[in-house]
Structure 1
Amino acid sequence: MDRMTLPDAPWRHRAGLDQLADALGGAHGDARFVGGAVRDTLLGLDVSDIDIATRHAPADVVDRLEAKRIKAIPTGIAHGTITAVSNGTVVEVTTLRRDVTTDGRHATVAFTDDWREDAARRDFTMNALYADPLSGEIFDYFGGIDDLRAGRVRFIGDPYRRIAEDHLRILRFFRFHARFGAAIDEAGLAACTARANDLMALSRERIAAEVLKLLVAKNAVPVVTLMIDRGIFRPVLPEISDASRFAALAGHEAATGVAPDPIRRLASLIAPQAAEAVGARLKLSNNDRKRLIAATAGPGDEGPRALAYRVGQPQAIDRLLLADAPVDAITEWNPPRLPINGGALVERGLAKGPDVAQALRAIETRWIGEGFPDAARTRQIADEIVAQALRSASNA
């Protein structure tokens, strides 16, 4: 076993974390940090979520936390998970487990006090690293540290068996490779390729969550290209068959300093006419579905700022980037408000109702076309539009 110590990091000093570890018996080896917090700290990355594994049974965890006046929320108590809130710090606490039965989507678990058994049920070696909360000593049962150093995402044990236990691990394999990987693990790749059809058994929400995270990972472009070549998307997202627009978008985002966005990137991977069907199949939120569809609508012909004014800055950035059009004119620009209202047109002689609404639209179009001039120029435009409307009414 590779022995080393977890480096210090800001998350280890969060308020209430020491009290939580103490309540769970950290000083007696009954609780350890596990998973992403350990992995990301070793890589020098920021940590958001903290997970603790413990030998204590779920009911005992609740009792121990409540005895120390730490809030315990039974978020997944049937599977051994308690959400602990200690002085504002939120931690997922899970009793050591082993799988009893699995069906590719769900697992029936039994609790254990064996750290290695718990590690053996996790997906990849880099996610099965534990750290003592006091000394920082790292426990590595399956060579995760070596894999982390090599940038190798490797299944624990037989990849085919691990995929059979949870089919989502196919997508997780590629997502973690896109985030951390250097050299692909050929055994894992072969298993994911052979079992890609297993993805059809998963809920579309789980698929969407993984795919959207994957699309914004550091090395998403080569990994998505690999997934297309290997037919990974074909069973559930056959619309994703070419990564060239995706690669172009990623390059444009990098060049313009715009942060990657999963919905925008998904839009680059599908044909415009497929956006509605894909959004529905993945059960995206209504806002994300609308954005996915709108992203493919093109840059328009009025210019970037006119587009941003009409559809909003986020949607305009999507459309411009996907069209490989410049976005610098709107990234730091706040669309102004039309500096005139219907009351001002009534004062100029227009009757309330449709005539005012029609005139306002005409004024706004001119105002946009002239590059959003100031209030004085807008009043001049209004005078011209109203005068024309009054003449037309008198000649009718």
Structure 2
Amino acid sequence: MKMPLDELRAREGMAALLAALGAEAGEVRPIGGYVRDTLLDLHPSDIDLATTHRPEDAAERIRAAGFKVVPTGMAHGTVTAVLPSGPVEVTTLRRDVETDGRHAVVAFTDDWQADAARRDFTINALSADPRDGQVHDYFGGETDLLAGRVRFIGDALCRIAEDHLRILRFFRFHARFGQGAPSAPDLDACAARANDLMALSRERIAQELIKLLALADPAPTVAIMRARGIFTPILPEIGDQGVARLAALVSREAGAGDPIRRLAALLPMDAAVADKVGARLKLSNAQRKRLIAATGPAAGDARALLYRIGAVSARDRLLLAGDAAGLAEIEGWDAPRLPIGGGALVAMGLLAGPQVAAALAAVERRWIEEGFPDRERAQALADEEVARLLG
């Protein structure tokens, strides 16, 4: 099999970079996801290169070609070449010396097959000759790619022991590239070692989960993960009801779904639970706030909901509830501002402070209930509230 080279050659600066790294001598190749996605005509945005040159030598060659070099991870053999067409990671061929499930100690090598052997799945171990596109496949990755099969390289249990995150990556790659049921031996290995996920940082788990939930249709894969106990050690809050809610949400979303909304679908509709999960996964403040808002009740007027919690969170709740009428009601609608402020109430005789705050809240509540009427009606509501308080 050969990889098309048109996209690679069209990248400004790529020809010079490949030449500097010894493409004519077979010393550099595109590798991994770039080769995989190009073979599937998925138009990859990023490109990784592997080279036989040590990182210091690679950096020197890149600079000599006129490109800026960023020492991204010299200890692990990676530098980044900054091309006019974008950054390109260049990594020296490696082999693992020591692994502990989270980190690896590597040694540099000039053996392409040894470098491929340390990768996770066969479809990610492909490399290609930049001269003619010839694909180098040491573990049957081409066959697996065409068959829609995600398979660990070698013994699955050993690969998981090297890096526990590979359990979650297995399911993410199956959701993206898999056809039919997952590979049974690999699935069994992931289920057997699910407790290993507890050794990972919450940030790494969250990043992988969000990537999974952002895919076109993660629901079938999430159902398998739930059934095989993958979530039990890291997200025990996810139950069968949540899996069913996710499937329903995916079916009613127009286009790509939002991963935070989909995470909310997986959880019980309980803001306290959502807050706990957001904290455990160390989501950003904005993500955590949105997760909490999404799990509240969606009952009532859709425009009132939007006014109270904002357009994004209102859409989250209505999508989760399957409220098509509510979604249509808020489509293109901008929430107005209450035409009466606290200053106007003070001018009408109320005391600044708690009395004004309570009166303003009462006016706002009635204004929302009446469907956001104009300033004249809002003033009438304020008059009635002030009269009640004064008298």
Provide TM-score, normalisation by structure 2. 0.90
State the shift of 1:307 in Å.
1.0
Cα distance between partner residues in 2 of 1:17 and 1:333: 47
Tell me, what secondary structure is at the counterpart of 1:64?
helix
Code of the aligned partner of 2:248: G
- Given the alignment of the two structures, is residue 220 of structure 1 paired with residue 222 of structure 2, yes or no? no
Task: Write out per-residue CA displacement over residues 137-193 of structure 1, whole angstroms, 9 at most, x where no aligned residue.
Answer: 221111111100000001111111111111111111111101110142112112111
Q: Among 35, 47, 52, which residue is 2:49 paired with?
A: 52
| Structure 1 residue 46: Cα displacement | 3.0
Contact 1:345 1:382 survives alignment (8 Å): no
Q: Which residue of 2 aligns with 1:335?
A: 335
Aligned to 2:377: 381
Q: 1:206 maps to what in 2?
A: 204
Aligned: 1:230 with 2:216: no
What is the CA–CA distance in structure 2 between the aligned matches of 1:114 and 1:276, rounded to whole Å?
48
Which residue of the partner structure matches residue 247 of structure 1? 244
The unaligned stretches of length 5 or more in structure 2 are none
Q: Give the Å deviation of 1:195.
A: 1.3
TM-superposed CA distance for 1:340, in Å, is 5.2
Q: Distance in 2 between matches of 1:136 and 1:160?
A: 33
- The residue aligned with 1:288 is 287
Separation of aligned partners in 1, 2:238 and 2:14: 44
Instruction: Kindly state the Cα deviation for residue 385 of structure 1 after the two structures are TM-superposed.
Output: 2.4
User: Contact (CA 8 Å) 1:250, 1:260: kept in 2 or not?
Assistant: no
What residue number does 1:173 align with? Answer: 170
The answer to whether the 8 A contact 1:11-1:47 is kept is: no
1:69 Cα deviation after fit: 2.2
Structure 1 residue 231: Cα displacement:
1.1
* Residue identity in the other structure for 1:370: E
- Structure 1 residue runs of 5 or longer lacking an equivalent are none
Give the CA deviation at 1:113: 0.9
Residue 351 of structure 1, CA deviation = 7.0
Q: Which moved more, 1:263-272 or 1:325-334?
A: 325-334
- Asked if 2 retains the 8 angstrom alpha-carbon contact of 1:54 and 1:95, the reply is yes
Q: Partner of 1:107 in structure 2?
A: 104
Is residue 348–residue 386 contact of structure 2 (8 Å, CA) maintained in 1?
no
| RMSD of equivalent CA atoms | 2.3
Q: Which residue of 2 aligns with 1:197?
A: 195
Q: Give the letter for the 1:17 counterpart.
A: M
2:147 to 145, 150, 167: 150
Distance change (3 Å), C-alpha of 1:13 and 1:370: farther
| Contact 1:32–1:132 (Cα < 8 Å) also in 2 | yes
Who is 1:371 aligned against? Answer: 371
Would you say the 8 A contact 1:296–1:319 is kept in 2? Answer: yes
Partners of 2:113 and 2:339 in 1: CA distance: 68
Q: Does 1:94 align with 2:91?
A: yes
Match of 1:136 in 2: 133
Q: What is the CA distance between 1:252 and its match in structure 2?
A: 3.5
CA distance in 1, matches of 2:66, 2:341: 58
Moved more, 345-354 or 62-71: 345-354
Q: CA deviation at 1:73?
A: 0.8
SS at match of 2:89: strand
Task: Pick the aligned partner of 1:68 from 65, 69, 81.
Answer: 65
Q: How far 1:7 moved relative to its partner? A: 2.4
The offset of 1:22, in angstroms, is: 2.2
- Over 3 Å counting, the alpha-carbon distance change for 1:337 and 1:383 in structure 2 is closer
* Aligned 8 A contact 2:216 2:256 in 1: no
